[in-house]
Amino acid sequence: MKTFKVIETSILSQHESKLVPIEDGIIINQENSSRSWAIELFTTKDLKPYFDDLVATQEIVEARVVISYPENEPAPFEVMAYSVKQVGDSISVLFRGTLKQARRKYAEGLLAELIEDGFEGDALLERFEKAMKERPVLKEDEDA
C-alpha cells in the first residue's frame, strides 16, 4: 500500500460541485486486484448532513483530489462515501473507489477553455495562473 497526503478535494455529484475544506486527509492506494483506493478527509462538521446524505444514498460521485503538493493536477476518482464520524470539532469522512482511467490533463483543458472564451496575451496568462490555483470545474466536466 502507498499513502499520500490530501491537499484539496472537490466532490462532483449529479446535483452539485462542492469544494471540501480540508483540515487533514490521507489517500491510500490499496494496490489490490480491484485497484481500489481509500480516502479519508477531516473537514468541518457543518458538512455532516451533506456527507450523511451521500452515505445514505450510496451515490457514486467523482472526487477530484490534489495529492501531496498544491501544484499537482487533481486526480479524478469514482468513489462512494462509506462513513461519517464526528471527531472533536471536525468530521471524518471515509470514501472508497477507483482512479478514473480516462484522465484528461486539467491544464490543457483549462487553457483550451480560456482561449475559447477569447482570452489572449497577458490576460490569458493572468487568468490561466489564477484558475490553476483555484481549480474551477471545466465546462466540459459540467456537461459530463
The whole model's pTM is what? 0.71
Note the pLDDT tens digit of each residue in 35-47.
899 999 999 999 9
Of 63, 82, 99, the residue at which a domain comes to its end is 99
Same structural domain for residues 61 and 124? Answer: no
Domain range enclosing 84: 2-99
Note the pLDDT tens digit of each residue in 57-102.
999 999 999 999 988 888 889 999 999 999 999 999 999 999 986 4
Same structural domain for residues 80 and 128? Answer: no
Same structural domain for residues 32 and 94? Answer: yes
Is the model's pLDDT at 104 over the cut of 70?
A: no
C-alpha cell of residue 80: 462512494
Same structural domain for residues 47 and 85? Answer: yes
- Tell me the backbone φ, ψ of residue 77, rounded to 5 degrees: -125, 145
How much of the chain is helix, strand and coil, in % rounded to 5? 30, 40, 30
CATH number (domain holding residue 23): 2.30.110
Winning range, highest mean pLDDT, from 11-15, 52-56, 67-71: 52-56
pLDDT at res. 102:
47
Same structural domain for residues 54 and 113? Answer: no
For the chain, the domain total comes to: 2
